[in-house]
Amino acid sequence: MLDSPDTPAPAKRGRGGILERRRARTALWLLLPTLFAIALVAGYPLFRTIYLSFTDFNISTGDEPHWVGLENYWNVTEDGVNIGLLADPAWWSSVWNTVVLSMVSVGTETLFGLGFALVINSKIKGRGLLRTAILVPWAIPTVVSAQMWSWMYQDSLGIVSSWGRHLGLLEVGQSVVANPNSALWALVAVDVWKTTPFMALLLLAGLQSIPADLYEAARVDGATRLQQFRRITLPLLAPALLVAVIFRTLDALRIFDMPYVMKGNAPETMTMSMYARQQMIDNAQFGMGSSVSVLIFLVIMMFTVAYVTLSRVDVEGTR
Amino acid sequence: MKTTIALTVLALFTAAPARAGVTLSFACDSTGKGYEICKAGADAWAAKTGNTVNVIQVPNETGDRLALYQQQLAAGSSDIDIYMIDVVWPGLIGVHLLDLSNLVPAKEVSAHFPAIVQNNTFNGKLVGIPWFTDAGVLYSRSDLLEKYGFHSPPKTWDELASMAKKIQAGERGANPLFQGFVFQGKNYEGLTCDALEWLASFGGGTIIDSSGKITINNPHTLEMLKTVQGWVGTITPEAVTTYAEEDARNVWQAGNAAFMRNWPYAYALGQADGSAIKGKITVSALPAGASGHGASTLGGWQLAVNAKSKHAKEAVELVRYLTSPEEEKRRAIQGSFSPTIASLYKDPDILAATPFFGPLYDVFVNAVARPATATKAKYNQASSAFANAVYSVLTKKQTPEEAVNALQSQLTRVKGKGW
C-alpha cells in the first residue's frame, strides 16, 4: 500500500520530463515566429532609438551618426551653458503639461464613463440607440474632431466664444484656446469629450460580467441602491476599472494629435510627444529627438510600474 | 472615373513604351488660391509637352511643409520630383537638391533678382530658381480711412495704433466683432517674419547678425516688444495668438478688420468677386518704428528639383517653364504673386491688376532677410526660439524683459559650440 504510490512516481516524473521537454521544444518552435516578429517590430526600433540617443544624428546634413555619449542629455559647454536636454526648461514644461493633461482628463473621463456605463447598462428605453450614439465622438478621427473643436473655439465665428460672450465670460477677440491660462483646460475638455465613450465601453463590459443574482440577493436582504453600488458594483468592477485607467493613462501620456492640431507648437500646451517631434522633425535632430523619446519611455515606464504595483496591493487587499 | 482608370491601365500596358511622356510629381502651394494657380501652370506645360504633372496637396503652413519634405528627402525618396521651397530652406535641405547651375541657362538665371539667386546658392550649388518673392505689406481699408478722415495709410506704428483705435471704436457699434489690426501671432515661422519686421523697424537688428553673433538683447528689442504687447487686447484681438496667414485673412476679408499685415497673395483674394471688401483695399509699405523707417521680411518661394528624381530632365524643363517671365506674369495677374524678374514690375498688365507692385518695388528689393545664412542648419531652432519669446509676450505670459533674457539664453543653448 505504501510502496505502490512510491514506485510509479519516479517513472512518471521521468516520462513527464521527456514529455515536458518535448513540449517545451515544440512550444519554443511555435513561439519563434512571434518572438522574431516582436524583435523586428518592437525590439529593433527600441534599441535603435536608444542607440541614436547617444549620437548627433541629423537627417538634413546627410552625415552618418557620430557617437557623442551623454551629450544630448547633459552637456555643459566651455561658456558654462548646459545645452543638454535635461537642462531645457521647455522639456520640463512639456512633461508638466502632459502629466496635468493626462491626470485631469483620465480622472474626469473615468467619472463620466462610469456614469454613462451605469446608464446604458440599466434597462431603459432606446438603450441600443443610446449605446451607438455615445460612441460617435470616439469614432470620429482625432484630427477631424480637433479641427472641428478649433473652429468652435475660434474667437469671432466659434460657437463656444459666442456663448462665452453672451454669458459675459469672454470679450470680443478673446477665446479660451488663445488665452494661455485656459488653453490647457480647453484641450482637456476636448480629450474628455473624445475618450469618455471609450471608458464607458470598457466599464460597460465590466458591468455586464457582474452576475444579476447578486443584486437579487441584495434586494432580498433589503440593501438600498447605494449600498448595492458600493458593496457589489464597485468592488466587482475594480479590475475592469483599473485596466481601463491604465490603458487611458498610458495613451494620454503619449498624446500628440489633438493638441498639435489645435495649438501647434505653443509652449503652454506642448506635450512630451510634441516636444520630441519638434526636435526630431522640425529641427531634423534625430539624435536629440531620440533622447527625448528615451526619456518619454522612462516616464511612461514609471507610471506603468506604479500602476502595476498599486493593482497588486489592491488584489491582495480584496482577497 | 471608371473610364479614366481603364484608360490609364490601358496606357500603362500598351502605349507606355511608345510614348515619351513621363509623370512628374510636384509639391507646390496650398495657401489661398495657390493650388489652383499652380496647377493651371503645370497643366499648361503638361499639355504642351505631352507629359503629366501630379500636383500634390501640401500642408498649409510653411513649418509643416518643411517637416514633411525633410523626412521625404532624408529617406532618399524619389516620389516628388519638384518642390516649391521657402526662401529660408536652402541651408536646411540643400544637400538633397539638384544643382541647377549647369542645367538652367545662365541668362535665364540672371533675369531674376540677384539677391534671391545668391540666397538659393548653397555650398556653391544653385538649388532653386526664384519663382515669386514675398515681403510683408500693410493692408488698409480705404473706405474706412476716408470715413474717419484719414488721407493716407499710417506711416508709423504709433499712427497705426491711434488710427486703428479710432476706427475700431467707431465701427464696434455696427459690428461688434470689428478689430483694428490683425497679423500672424501664432507660435510658428509666420510670427518670426512679423516680429522681425517690427524689430528691424525699431532698429533692433535681425536677432543674429551675419557673423553669427546673438544681437537680440538690446534696448530697441524691449521697446518693440512693449509696443506690440500694448496692441494685444486693445486694437488687436487676444486670439491673434492663434492666427496664421489664412486666419488673419479670414477676419480681414470678412470685413472685420481695419488693418492687416500679410503677404501680397491676400490682395487678389480680397479683390475677387464675392469678397466683402472688394475695391476697398489699399496696400502700402509697413509703418516705420523708432528707427525712422519701415521694414519687410523677405519671404518668397523657389522651385527646386529633388536630386534623387528619376525624371530630372523633364523636371528642370518644368521649372524653367514655370519661372519664365510669361508664367510669372500670369501668376502676378491672377494671384498677385510678386515676380522675381525686375522688368515685370513695369509691365502695364500686371500694374493694372495689382497696382501696388509699382510703388512697392523698393520694398520687395530691400526686404530684410531672416538670419538663415548665419544660423545654417540650426535656423529652424533659432527661429522657433525667437517666435516663442515673442509669443510669450503677446500672450502676456512674460514681460518683454523676461522674454528677452530667456531668448538670449535659449539662443545661446541652440548655438552651443557654434552655428
Kindly list the distances between the CA atom of residue A169 and the CA atoms of A165, A250, B233, in Å, as whole numbers in the listed order.
Answer: 6, 34, 15
A132 and A214 in a single domain? The answer is yes
**Domain interval for residue A277:** 91-318
* Burial class, A257, CB count within 10 angstroms (exposed 0-12 / middle 13-18 / buried 19+): middle
Query: Which helix (H) or strand (E) covers residue A156, if one does?
Result: none
* Burial class, B409, CB count within 10 angstroms (exposed 0-12 / middle 13-18 / buried 19+): middle
Q: How many domains does chain A have?
A: 2
Convert A2-57 into a string of H (helix), E (strand) and C (coil): CHHHHCHHHHHHHHHHHHHHHHHHHHHHHHHHHHHHHHHHHHHHHHHHHHHCCECC
- Residue % of chain B over a pLDDT of 90: 87
pLDDT above 50: residue B340: yes
* B335: nearest Cα among B87, B109, B28: B28
pLDDT at site A59: 83
A216/A15: higher pLDDT: A216
Residues of B in Cβ contact (< 8 Å) with A75 = 416
Test the A interface: residue of B175, B187, B246, B419 with most A CBs within 10 Å? B187
B117 and B184 in a single domain? The answer is no
**Domain interval for residue B315:** 2-135+298-365
**What is the length of chain B?**
419
State the helix-helix crossing angle for B219-231 and B400-415, rounded to 10 degrees.
Answer: 120
| CB neighbour list of residue A256: distance below 8 Å, 6 or more residues apart | A271, A273, A274, A277
Kindly list the distances between the CA atom of residue B144 and the CA atoms of A222, B178, B273, B282, in Å, as whole numbers in the listed order.
Answer: 77, 12, 20, 11
pLDDT digits over A39-80, tens only? 999 999 999 999 999 999 988 776 789 999 999 999 887 777
pLDDT at site B141: 97
Q: Give the pLDDT mean for B142-160.
A: 96
Parallel, antiparallel or unpaired: strands B129-135 and B121-122: unpaired
How crowded is residue A7: how many other Cβ atoms within 10 Å of its Cβ? 9
pLDDT at site B4: 52
- Residue % of chain A over a pLDDT of 70: 92
Handedness of CA B244, B246, B249, B251 (dihedral sign): negative
Provide the 3-class DSSP secondary structure of residue A58. Answer: strand
- How far off is chain A from B68, nearest CA to CA, in Å? 8
A102 and A225 in a single domain? The answer is yes
| Confidence label for A6 from pLDDT (cuts 50, 70 and 90) | very low
Partner B contacted by A64 (CB < 8 A): no
A106 and A191 in a single domain? The answer is yes
Tell me the C-alpha distance between A262 and A247, whole Å: 24
pLDDT above 60: residue B294: yes
All 3 cell numbers of residue B291? 528707427
- How far off is chain A from B177, nearest CA to CA, in Å? 6
A82, A83, A172 member nearest B237 (Cβ):
A172
B387 and B290 in a single domain? The answer is yes
A209 assigned to some structural domain = yes
Q: Give the pLDDT mean for B58-75.
A: 92
B223 and B260 in a single domain? The answer is yes
pLDDT at site A83: 83
pLDDT at site B15: 43
Q: How many domains does chain B have?
A: 2
B267 and B394 in a single domain? The answer is yes
Question: Which residue is listed with cell 440607440?
Answer: A129
A26 and A171 in a single domain? The answer is no
Tell me the C-alpha distance between B415 and B419, whole Å: 5
Q: Give the pLDDT mean for B165-171.
A: 97
Tell how far CA A163 is from the center of its chain.
Answer: 32
B90 and B188 in a single domain? The answer is no
| CB neighbour list of residue A80: distance below 8 Å, 6 or more residues apart | none
Q: Which amino acid is at B205?
A: G
- How far off is chain A from B176, nearest CA to CA, in Å? 7
Convert B48-110 into a string of H (helix), E (strand) and C (coil): HHCCEEEEECCCCCHHHHHHHHHHHHHCCCCCCCEEEEECCCHHHHHHHECCCCCCCCHHHHH
| CB neighbour list of residue B251: distance below 8 Å, 6 or more residues apart | A156, B179, B182, B237, B243, B257, B260
* B307: nearest Cα among B57, B126, B54, B140: B126
B77/A80: higher pLDDT: B77
Question: Which residue is listed with cell 519638384?
Answer: B82
B215 and B127 in a single domain? The answer is no
Q: In chain B, which residue's Cα lies nearest the Cα of A87?
A: B413
Residue A218's φ and ψ, nearest 5 degrees, are -65, -40
* B278: nearest Cα among B245, B261, B243, B254: B254
Q: Cβ contact (<8 Å) for B237 and A88?
A: no
State the helix-helix crossing angle for B379-394 and B189-201, rounded to 10 degrees.
Answer: 80
Q: Give the pLDDT mean for B150-175.
A: 96
| Listed range (A128-142, B142-156, B382-396) with the worst mean pLDDT | A128-142
DSSP class of residue A126 equals: T
B106 and B6 in a single domain? The answer is yes
A32 and A109 in a single domain? The answer is no
Average predicted confidence (pLDDT) for chain A? 88
pLDDT above 90: residue A149: yes
B106 and B169 in a single domain? The answer is no
Residues of B in Cβ contact (< 8 Å) with A282 = 63, 66-67, 380, 384
B127 and B51 in a single domain? The answer is yes
Domain containing residue A141: CATH number: 1.10.3720.10
A312 assigned to some structural domain = yes
A83 assigned to some structural domain = no
Residues of B in Cβ contact (< 8 Å) with A172 = 172, 176-177, 179, 237
A95 and A38 in a single domain? The answer is no
Residue A113's φ and ψ, nearest 5 degrees, are -60, -40
| Cα radius of gyration rounded to whole Å, chain A | 27
Q: Out of B365, B383, B400, pick the residue that ends a domain.
A: B365
Q: Is the pTM of this model over 0.90?
A: no
pLDDT digits over B296-328, tens only? 999 999 999 999 999 999 999 999 999 999 999
Own/partner contacts of A1-6, CB < 8 Å, gap of 24 or more, are none
Q: Specify whether the CB–CB gap between A161 and A174 falls below 8 A.
A: yes
pLDDT at site B17: 42
A110 and A19 in a single domain? The answer is no
Q: Give the pLDDT mean for A72-96.
A: 88
A79 assigned to some structural domain = no
A166 and A309 in a single domain? The answer is yes
B345 and B355 in a single domain? The answer is yes
Q: Give the pLDDT mean for B14-23.
A: 60
Q: Cβ contact (<8 Å) for B237 and A174?
A: yes
B32 and B56 in a single domain? The answer is yes
Q: Cβ contact (<8 Å) for A267 and B186?
A: no
pLDDT at site A132: 86
Average predicted confidence (pLDDT) for chain B? 92
| Listed range (A120-134, A245-259, A294-308, B207-221) with the worst mean pLDDT | A120-134
| Listed range (A214-218, A270-274, A310-314) with the worst mean pLDDT | A310-314
Give the number of C-alpha atoms closer than 13 A to the C-alpha of residue B12, restricted to the C-beta side: 7
pLDDT at site B268: 93
Name residue B299's beta-bridge partners.
B134
Provide the 3-class DSSP secondary structure of residue A69. Answer: coil
Tell me the C-alpha distance between B325 and A72, whole Å: 49
All 3 cell numbers of residue A122? 440599466
Tell me the C-alpha distance between B180 and A283, whole Å: 35
- How far off is chain A from B259, nearest CA to CA, in Å? 15
Q: Give the pLDDT mean for A299-304.
A: 92
What b-and-e string marks burial along A201-215, b requiring 16 or more CB atoms within 10 Å of the CB?
bbbbebbeebeeeee
Domain containing residue B122: CATH number: 3.40.190.10
Partner B contacted by A173 (CB < 8 A): yes
A13 assigned to some structural domain = yes
B142 and B129 in a single domain? The answer is no
What b-and-e string marks burial along B343-359, b requiring 16 or more CB atoms within 10 Å of the CB?
ebbebeebbebbebbee
pLDDT above 90: residue B198: yes
All 3 cell numbers of residue B395? 500672450
| Confidence label for B20 from pLDDT (cuts 50, 70 and 90) | low
